[in-house]
Structure 1
Amino acid sequence: MNISVFRDYIKNVITLSDNQESLLFSEVKERKYLKGQYILQQGDPCHFLNFVVSGATKTFHLDDKGNEHIFRFAIEKWWATDLPSFINQDISNTNIQCLENTVVVQISLESFEKLTQEIPQFERFFRLLFQNVSITLEKRIINNLSFSAKERYLLFREEYREFEQRIPQYMIASYLGISKQYLSEIRNQLTSEL
């Protein structure tokens, strides 16, 4: 089972006893998805926190006109979850789709609550994780409001180097809020500046 990748990720943040580790193993499950499959579809409640062991996903909203608005990618050791829907067990406003064959470790809300109650360190782990999600989201909103498309692309390349080789350019353009043609122009301009 690929749970060892998840366990090692957790152990980089908190220390677990053997009993706590056994509890962790008993409360999570591994799930495999094929490229193109959905982990979550808009309109359904998000039942799991999804930790990506291998593969890649995109999280996006489909508007009333059928336009796709990508706002998150996830690769190995990233999380792919609709947090508001998961916590409130409400319908999701997002889709999570696999861009590659993907393996995730899933934690249900019931297991999440059990782990945070029975292993105090998990409360801290998830608090730190949720804080980072909030900080990243706020930073992204401010960048989108303050920076030009070129500056946003340069930031994307700097912060998410590993994504550019694995994510199609038109999806990166959607994430940046620009057309794929405009992204191509920006990339050509950057190449000519070298």
Structure 2
Amino acid sequence: MFEPLLKYINNYTSTTLSESESELIKSAFTLKKIKRKQYFLQAGDVCRYFGFILKGAMRQYLVDDKGVEHIVHLSIENWWVGDRESWVMLTPSNYYIDAWEDTELLLITRADTLKLVQQIPAFSELLRLLDERNNIATQRRIASSISYTAEKRYIDFINSHPDFLQRFPQHVIASYLGITKETLSRVRKQAMQK
């Protein structure tokens, strides 16, 4: 059950984990199974765990005053899931995170994460790389949402995340892109004609 996580760490870092480091990592994570539509986190709760997805698909969203869902993250296998602000600051989350498919995750607490950072250089390197990639992705997402056309956002999305098209329905992808289902349908037709 830990092999995907250990492989992930070894693939993203410059050093290979030793056997003792691998055992420390295994002892810091716990397995959690979440059924489709079950919550990992609800708005108002503090995010106590970050999860590494072994199997399944999840979405992170907020609900506006009119009851409309706005999806901010989609995640599948080998992706991390959680509300970083709530996890770091121990403040109530503004987000819901639920399983779009039956999902298996390896969970870690903030305290255990900080211990691993102190004990395992490769884990510290991994977190630095994840932070860098997260910042880059956030900047790109902001730039896309404020300056790209719906068609350009969709094309960038399918080029960056082709697997998501098979895992999430059109209304979820439309919400993630910040457009309506009707606009997505029109944009898809235009993109296919080119």
Shorter-chain TM range is over 0.9
Please give the secondary structure, in 1, of the residue aligned with 2:91: coil
Match of 2:10 in 1: 11
Task: Identify which range, 182-191 or 39-48, moves more after superposition.
Answer: 182-191
Name the counterpart of 2:154.
153
1:115 is aligned with what amino acid? L
- Kindly state the Cα deviation for residue 4 of structure 1 after the two structures are TM-superposed: 1.2
Q: What TM-score results when the alignment is normalised by the length of structure 2?
A: 0.95
For 2:179, the equivalent position in structure 1 comes to 178
Contact 2:51 2:106 in 1 (8 A): yes
Structure 2: how far apart are the matches of 1:120 and 1:150?
42
State the shift of 1:118 in Å.
1.4
Cα pair 2:155 2:191 within 8 Å, conserved? no
In the alignment, the residues of structure 1 paired with residue 191 and residue 183 of structure 2 have an alpha-carbon distance, to the nearest angstrom, of 12
- Asked if 1:32 is matched to 2:37, the reply is no
Once the two structures are aligned, what percentage of the paired residues are identical?
A: 38
Separation (CA, whole Å) in 1 of partners of 2:43 and 2:181: 24
Whole-Å Cα distance in 1 between the matches of residues 43 and 132 of structure 2?
A: 24
Q: Residues 115-142 of structure 1, C-alpha deviation per residue, up to 9 Å, x if partnerless?
A: 1111132222101111111110111000
Q: What is the number of equivalent residue pairs in this alignment? A: 192
Secondary structure (helix, strand or coil) at the match of 2:80 reads: coil
Aligned-CA RMSD value: 1.1
Unaligned runs of 5+ in 2: none
Alpha-carbon distance, 1:188 to partner? 2.2
Given residue 150 of structure 1, which amino acid in structure 2 is its aligned partner? E
Note the residue ranges of structure 1 that are not aligned, 5 or more in a row.
none
Counterpart AA for 2:5: F
SS in 1 for 2:163: helix
* Equivalent-residue separation in structure 1 for 2:190 and 2:139 (angstroms): 29
**Which residue of the partner structure matches residue 69 of structure 1?**
70
Shift of 1:11: 1.3
Per the TM alignment, residue 90 of structure 1 is displaced from its structure 2 partner at its CA by 1.1
**After the TM superposition, which parts of structure 1 deviate over 2 Å for at least 4 consecutive aligned residues?**
188-191
